[in-house]
Structure 1
Amino acid sequence: MNLKALRSLAGCTATSGVLCLRFTCKSLNFTYRVRAFQAAVDYLKTLQRFTLSNVFLAGRSMGARAAAALGRQLCAAEEGAVRGLVCVSFPLHPPGQTHTHVKRSEDLRALSHVPVLFVSGTADNMCERKLLESVVEQMKSSSSVHWVEGGSHGLAVKGRTEESVLEEVNSRIMTWILEHV
């Protein structure tokens, strides 16, 4: 939750007038993370100070997988519950285990009516470019990929400052969100 990239994106969303709830799950258990994400959404729905609308789910790495799983569940329960999904550094496969991409992309391929933005590095050892592009082609939902040239799984780019990469990523995410509101 206190990663510089997440703090930076939360600041960018706030500047644009978009509420951003960020949280972290210390467990590496995928099912637990999805339940924690669901609990956060459920909690927001109970607040009487404001009404949830134009909800975008987002996550980084395993959080992106959890957001996709929750997005699939919410959309199956109520069409229009989620306006969009942002997947930053989606871990399509563990390093060197590209065969696992089919299982890890099930929720993405099952989504319907939820646009998806992927932000990934071209040098991400957990998301081979050709595999992600193949998944995007198989998806029912409209989707696009913003490739960070030379970016690793953490979106670090040799020869670029972290701030310049964050500015690029945040700008692309906010432009995409505002296009889909």
Structure 2
Amino acid sequence: MGDHSEVKVKIPFGTKYLDAIFSVPDKILTHGVILTHGAGGDMNFSHLVSLVAYLASRGILCLRFTCKSLNIAYRTKAYKSVVEYLKSSSEYKLSSVFLGGRSMGSRAAASVLRQISQDDNEDFIRGLICLSYPLHRPNLQSKLRDEDLFFVKCPVLFISGTEDEMCEKKLLEGVASKMKTPRKIYWVEKANHGMAAKGRTEDDIMMEVNTQIFSWIKEIIEQENK
């Protein structure tokens, strides 16, 4: 597999800047992935670092960023700024990009896609990757955070643990069945919301997750090139 380098950048967002890092493959292909973290932590959360290293070493440009606000509307605005920044980049000319995030970060990505689909200019975005999508609060299954998902027009990949206390299996399957776009759910056996499972190491789980994400991206890119 190829190597990659990391480039720190500051992305303009209103009067502020968002800290971000490009993971740049030695041989730049034409596809990229934008990723962000959940309600806690930042872009250096171990699962995101593991994923970008895996993808970048296989030729996919990755851009991960930090936005610590717990306000979903603010997080969505920040995510949209990052998408626009990458789209207008003169250094990295991509034909398409996948949006993704972990937990609250995946909610923000879905919300951006809802807005972009309403602008009807979403050709640049080829898919949505939801790692541990927080479909509901723990023990509050009656109130689902599913409204944005029904507006997404591109393919969606959900990766969740079967023991995720914020995403009951039957409920996510029910939501997915009502979505009008190609979607896939990959369940990590016995993993919780933090993607931890008894008797398994974090590296072992992340290798399983990273492999699934890469093969799904590859499949979509190959369909696009037919």
Per-residue CA distance 1:22-62 (angstroms, 9 max, x = gap): 01211100001001101111111232113232210001000
For residue 55 of structure 1, give the secondary structure of its aligned residue in structure 2: strand
Residue of structure 2 equivalent to 1:153: 193
Q: Among residues 109, 128, 133, which one is paired with 1:85 in the alignment?
A: 128
Kindly indicate whether the alpha-carbon contact (under 8 Å) linking 1:95 and 1:126 is maintained by their aligned counterparts in 2.
yes
TM-score normalised by L of structure 2 = 0.77
Q: Give yes or no for the alignment of 1:129 onto 2:162.
A: no
How far is 1:100 from its partner?
A: 1.3
TM-score normalised by L of structure 1 = 0.95
Q: Among residues 207, 211, 214, which one is paired with 1:171 in the alignment?
A: 211
Amino acid paired to 1:62: M
Segments of 5+ residues of structure 2 without an aligned counterpart are: 1-42, 222-226
Matches within 5 A, 1:11-90: 11-77=53-119, 78-90=121-133
Could you say if the C-alpha distance between residues 27 and 79 of structure 1 is closer, same or farther in structure 2, counting changes exceeding 3 Å?
closer
The structure carrying a bigger helix percent of its residues is 1
For residue 136 of structure 1, give the secondary structure of its aligned residue in structure 2: helix
Q: Among residues 148, 168, 180, which one is paired with 1:107 in the alignment?
A: 148
For residue 106 of structure 1, give the secondary structure of its aligned residue in structure 2: coil
Q: Which has the larger radius of gyration?
A: 2
Kindly indicate whether the alpha-carbon contact (under 8 Å) linking 2:117 and 2:151 is maintained by their aligned counterparts in 1.
no
How many Å separate the matches in 1 of 2:75 and 2:122? 23
Amino acid paired to 2:116: L
Q: Give yes or no for the alignment of 1:144 onto 2:184.
A: yes
Per-residue CA distance 1:1-31 (angstroms, 9 max, x = gap): 1111000001011011001100121110000
How many Å separate the matches in 2 of 1:99 and 1:82? 31
Q: Give yes or no for the alignment of 1:95 onto 2:135.
A: no
Kindly indicate whether the alpha-carbon contact (under 8 Å) linking 1:75 and 1:81 is maintained by their aligned counterparts in 2.
no
How far is 1:164 from its partner?
A: 0.4
Q: Give yes or no for the alignment of 1:3 onto 2:45.
A: yes
Amino acid paired to 2:168: E
Amino acid paired to 2:115: Q
Q: What stretches of structure 1 move > 4 A for 4+ residues in a row?
A: none
The structure carrying a bigger strand percent of its residues is 2
Aligned length: 178
Structure with more contact order per residue of length (Cα contacts < 8 Å, sep ≥ 6):
1
